Structure 1
Amino acid sequence: MPTPAQRQAKQPVSSLLAGPYGHPWHPILVTVPIGAWVASLVFDVASHLTDDPGFLTRGSLWLIALGVIGALAAAAVGFLDLCVVPPGTRAFRVGLLHMALNLAVTGAYAANFLWRRAAQPPDRAVGAAMLALSVASIAALAVSGYLGGMLAYRYGVRVADEDTQADGYRREEKAPEPS
């Protein structure tokens, strides 16, 4: 039987803003920065493997920008999801750490974008220090993703309760075929 705190953490602050019960917006929005930043790292590495790295360097820059914009959108609705988790609980502490890591990663990528715009020649491979910042940022993002998974899959934050989940496993009775 779920506790009142568990029931509270499953309900949205606002269905319109945070997503309806059992279907929050945050998990779908996080795919934008994750995908953009992983792709930017692939472009960064690939820029060292070609004779004409300019298109990869420019592509990586704009993937970083897309990721920052997506991360801000994901952070806004993620914050709304955190608001329903009762303070003082382990789930809340994990949520705060998840949020702090994601904000730090977003800040690192915003700084990386500005640094590249100011210092990176657009026709050369991505600089080693910029590449290292991207690798460190992806590593921190992976840790944060683990914590986000813990919030959803271990603590059930914004996940439908077990009775609602059980509806998806009930066998439907087939209607008799007409003779």
Structure 2
Amino acid sequence: MQSRLRVQGHPIQPMLVTFPFGLFVCAVVFDLTDVLGGPAFLGLVGYWTAVAALFAAALTTVAGMVDLWDVPADRTRATAITFNLLNVAMSALFLISCLVRADAPQSGASTVLLGTELVGLAVGAAGVRLGARLMRQFEVGRADATSLDALRGVTGSTVEIARPRS
């Protein structure tokens, strides 16, 4: 089973998942520093980092929905749906935090909003774990990265160089 959206033989969604999750982690670190008494501008940075993560999460969700078409109707499909729902739930918790802060992002996060973001990260971590399991299922039979077959192209053939005609 291969993902429909691929770049040089590699599925796109796992690459995209790292962006929103990493940005959400950064937003929580900025907000935590702000709540613990750090410089006030870190709350603003945390807010805009979470907003950027929400845009990245939207792209990831679209890629996940496209890939869902090719997943067979078995346990793998249930895992893929759960994976996508966990990513949406994580994004929803951060969206709530951003909407509460939208009127005054300069005020930074409160302890309650930071708690909401931490719960969102926990949900996202469960999604990352499921995503890793899905990757192992989707990539069964791929070339071992340590073998010479891994150096071949997407089609498995070597690249040929055209010689100029004389």
* Structure 1 contact 11–21 (Cα < 8 Å) conserved: no
Counting aligned pairs with the same residue, the percent is 24
Q: Distance in 2 between matches of 1:35 and 1:82?
A: 23
CA shift digits 1:102-134 (9 cap, x unpaired): 11111221121111113x5624x5211100000
Given candidates 103, 112, 117, the residue that maps to 1:134 is 117
- Structure 1 residues not aligned, in runs of 5+: 1-8, 13-17, 173-179
Q: For residues 126 and 81 of structure 1, do their structure 2 counterparts lie closer, same or farther at Cα, with a shift above 3 Å needed?
A: same
Q: For residues 24 and 140 of structure 1, do their structure 2 counterparts lie closer, same or farther at Cα, with a shift above 3 Å needed?
A: same
- With structure 2 as the length reference, what TM-score do the two structures score? 0.81
Map of 2:16 onto structure 1: 29
Q: For residues 136 and 11 of structure 1, do their structure 2 counterparts lie closer, same or farther at Cα, with a shift above 3 Å needed?
A: closer
Aligned alpha-carbon RMSD (Å)? 2.2
Matched AA of 2:62: A
- Structure 2 residues not aligned, in runs of 5+: 152-166
Q: Distance in 1 between matches of 2:59 and 2:42?
A: 26
Question: Is 2:54 the counterpart of 1:68?
Answer: yes
Map of 1:97 onto structure 2: 82
Q: For residues 121 and 86 of structure 1, do their structure 2 counterparts lie closer, same or farther at Cα, with a shift above 3 Å needed?
A: closer
Q: Which moved more, 1:130-139 or 1:95-104?
A: 95-104
Structure 1 residue 100: deviation in Å?
1.0
- With structure 1 as the length reference, what TM-score do the two structures score? 0.75
Given candidates 44, 53, 60, the residue that maps to 1:58 is 44
Matched AA of 2:18: T
CA shift digits 1:27-57 (9 cap, x unpaired): 111121011100011001111333532x111
Q: How many residues align structurally?
A: 150
Structure 1 residue 22: deviation in Å?
3.1
* Structure 1 contact 40–61 (Cα < 8 Å) conserved: yes
Q: For residues 121 and 94 of structure 1, do their structure 2 counterparts lie closer, same or farther at Cα, with a shift above 3 Å needed?
A: closer
Question: Is 2:106 the counterpart of 1:122?
Answer: yes
CA shift digits 1:42-96 (9 cap, x unpaired): 001111333532x111001001100000001011112222211111x11111111
Q: For residues 121 and 169 of structure 1, do their structure 2 counterparts lie closer, same or farther at Cα, with a shift above 3 Å needed?
A: closer
